[in-house]
Structure 1
Amino acid sequence: MSAKPNKSIFLADDDADDCMLFEDALREVSTSTELITANDGVELINLMETTVPPPPDVIFLDLNMPRKNGFECLEQIRNTKAWEAIPVVIFSTTGQEEMVRKVHAQGANYFIRKPGSFLKLKQVIKQMLDIDWTKHNWKPVAGNFYYQY
């Protein structure tokens, strides 16, 4: 029997290359973290309905996805009693202030603009994994919400 992973991450992103890069970076940062990917928001919600509990330690959520976008997923996660406390990190190519404000108001924990380098991606993933989400204030103040790297 294999050991239970230290952490479990869900990643919802419709870009296959971004998913592969994320997985490669995660493997270099932590070999004991389980990564489960969804290709769009509908797949993420189906995954949540069939596997939670136990909840993932954190969800990385892209905003621009087909069928059900990140805004719709975040709203559903925050309005579902069994999921409402799961940390959600928005992980998107957009950095528009209006989008950042919107997902902050919806209850996301962090907003990270997808980094342009593999090294920065590894740093961002490591920082998110290092957070003790059980002690972290899950509703961050606006000034600490948009992660700058």
Structure 2
Amino acid sequence: MTKQPLHLLLADDDADDCIFFDEALKELPIDSSLETVGDGEQLMRLLISRPRALPDMLFLDLNMPRKNGFECLAEIKTNQQLKCLPVIIYSTSLDRDVVNLLYEKGALHYIRKPGDFSKLKEIIFLALTSASINNGDTISKDNFIIQVQ
């Protein structure tokens, strides 16, 4: 039996960040595919239109047009068909109050976007590994933020 590649979805309005993420993902020793959407409304339409074919994980930027990441996370976690989708927040900021709120709202991990390509690869790898080990289950607050030095 062959294992299916991980199907990942990235919701981010910055095209350069999407390209950077895709290039980093391709260099990891993980069989995966990446789909991207550019705003929160597009994300929610996609998820709602195919609830039986959800991605294995969603990387969600907070600052997007039309519907931001906070609104999308709240909608995902209150939707019966979507609430089990593992959501990894992928943002440029690292405000502790925001991080705490996102943990309480049901995000699986929080990643601060690194500017360095090797750190991006490492942080994506750590997030995917952690999510696989935990099967998308809630993790401790101490392990919520994934950081690399």
TM-score when normalising by structure 1: 0.90
Structure 1 distance, partners of 2:108, 2:30, is 24
Structure 2 distance, partners of 1:133, 1:29, is 15
Question: Is structure 2 residue 141 aligned with structure 1 residue 142?
Answer: yes
Runs of 4+ in 1 over 4 A off after TM superposition: none
Structure 1 distance, partners of 2:95, 2:127, is 21
Structure 2 distance, partners of 1:144, 1:131, is 9
Secondary structure, counterpart of 1:101 in structure 2: helix
CA 1:137/1:126 → structure 2, altered by over 3 Å: closer, same or farther? Answer: closer
Q: Percent identity?
A: 41
Structure 1 distance, partners of 2:3, 2:51, is 16
Question: Is structure 2 residue 102 aligned with structure 1 residue 84?
Answer: no
Structure 2 distance, partners of 1:31, 1:56, is 15
> What are the within-5 Å matches in structure 2 for residues 11-90 of structure 1?
11-30=10-29, 32-90=31-89
Q: Contact 2:86/2:136 (CA < 8 Å) preserved in 1?
A: no
Secondary structure, counterpart of 2:59 in structure 1: strand
Query: Which has the higher mean CA deviation after the structures are superposed, 85-94 or 26-35?
Result: 26-35
TM-score when normalising by structure 2: 0.90
Q: Contact 2:7/2:32 (CA < 8 Å) preserved in 1?
A: yes
**Partner of residue 127, structure 2:** 128
Structure 2 distance, partners of 1:78, 1:132, is 17
1:103-143, CA deviations, whole angstroms, 9 ceiling, x for partnerless residues?
A: 11100000010012100111111122223547446222211
Give the length in aligned residue pairs. 147
Q: Contact 1:5/1:34 (CA < 8 Å) preserved in 2?
A: no
1:66-114, CA deviations, whole angstroms, 9 ceiling, x for partnerless residues?
A: 1000000000110111111111000000101111011111000000100
Q: Contact 1:57/1:133 (CA < 8 Å) preserved in 2?
A: no
Query: Which has the higher mean CA deviation after the structures are superposed, 54-63 or 126-135?
Result: 126-135
